[in-house]
């Protein structure tokens, strides 16, 4: 392994043999991929899992956490976009249905948290970019500037709407306005520079 802080990629090839019956089972579980592709992805996931454990980068604290990590990794690499439901876990992996329900709920909660975190980051970045644009304006233009328009994803837009309605009357952004956006999956808003700062501070307070 490389020493020090350098993390250069090194290509290592390995051959993995599976029986005909195992290859058939992989094709059953993931009919949209070849057995060769599935084995390649499984090998990559297994190597990454062991390296993370050996180096201490990630060590699941329980068998449930390990199982969740494996299922999420498996679907994201081999069947991206497929919803991980209890019925799929039960039918594909022969898990007891109660266990499949528990894992599906845990995965959904984790993915929602991750999506919300991404939405908060997207919203923060969009607002911060607009505020930086405003701060670069000459002082005489700043005094007459009224509002910025910006577009974000639906999730980031819902987060902004929730913030705007939950803030107290004294700090609620008075210039906040949602405006129509012809693009599917996008929300558009207007905010004054003052309210941009207010919302950014609210986001910082919530994520501190």
Q: Return the pLDDT at 148.
A: 86
Q: Return the pLDDT at 4.
A: 47
Residue 189's DSSP bridge partners are 150, 178
| Least confident residue range of 72-76, 77-81, 176-180, 201-205 | 77-81
**Can you spell out the DSSP letters for 14-77?**
------HHHHHHHHHH-TTS-HHHHHHHHHHHHHHHHHHHHHTS---SSHHHHHHHHHHHHHHH
Q: Return the pLDDT at 96.
A: 94
Highest mean pLDDT among 11-15, 165-169, 192-196: 192-196
Cα distance between residue 95 and residue 74, in whole Å? 15
User: What are the boundaries of each domain within the chain?
Assistant: 117-207
**Can you spell out the DSSP letters for 62-108?**
SHHHHHHHHHHHHHHHHSTT----HHHHHHHH---HHHHHHHHHHHH
For residue 5, is pLDDT > 50? no
Q: Which residues are CB-neighbours of 146 under 8 A, at least 6 positions away?
A: 175, 192
Record the tokens describing residue 185, joined without a space: 């999956």
Q: Return the pLDDT at 76.
A: 85
At 154, is the secondary structure helix, strand, or coil? helix
CATH topology (fold) of 117-207: Alpha-Beta Plaits (3.30.70)
The fraction of the chain above a pLDDT of 90, given in percent, is: 23
Cα distance between residue 81 and residue 65, in whole Å? 21
188 φ/ψ angles, rounded to the nearest 5 degrees:
-120, 145
pLDDT tier for residue 169 given thresholds of 50, 70 and 90? low
Cα distance between residue 197 and residue 167, in whole Å? 14
Record the tokens describing residue 138, joined without a space: 């000459």
Which has more confidence, 38 or 5? 38
Q: Return the pLDDT at 3.
A: 47
């Amino acid at each position: 392994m490389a020493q020090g802080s350098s993390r250069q990629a090194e290509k290592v090839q390995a051959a993995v043999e599976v029986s005909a019956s195992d290859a058939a089972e992989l094709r059953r579980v993931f009919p949209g991929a070849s057995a060769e592709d599935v084995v390649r992805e499984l090998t990559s996931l297994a190597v990454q899992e062991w390296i993370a454990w050996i180096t201490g980068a990630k060590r699941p604290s329980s068998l449930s956490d390990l199982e969740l990590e494996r299922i999420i990794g498996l679907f994201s690499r081999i069947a991206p976009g497929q919803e991980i439901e209890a019925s799929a876990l039960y039918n594909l992996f022969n898990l007891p249905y109660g266990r499949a329900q528990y894992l599906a709920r845990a995965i959904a909660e984790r993915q929602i948290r991750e999506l919300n975190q991404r939405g908060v980051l997207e919203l923060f970045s969009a607002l911060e970019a607009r505020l930086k644009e405003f701060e670069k304006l000459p002082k005489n233009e700043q005094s007459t500037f009224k509002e910025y328009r910006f577009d974000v994803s639906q999730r980031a837009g819902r987060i902004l709407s929730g913030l705007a309605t939950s803030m107290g009357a004294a700090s609620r952004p008075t210039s906040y306005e949602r405006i129509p956006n012809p693009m599917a999956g996008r929300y558009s808003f207007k905010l004054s520079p003052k309210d941009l700062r207010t919302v950014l501070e609210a986001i910082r307070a919530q994520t501190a």
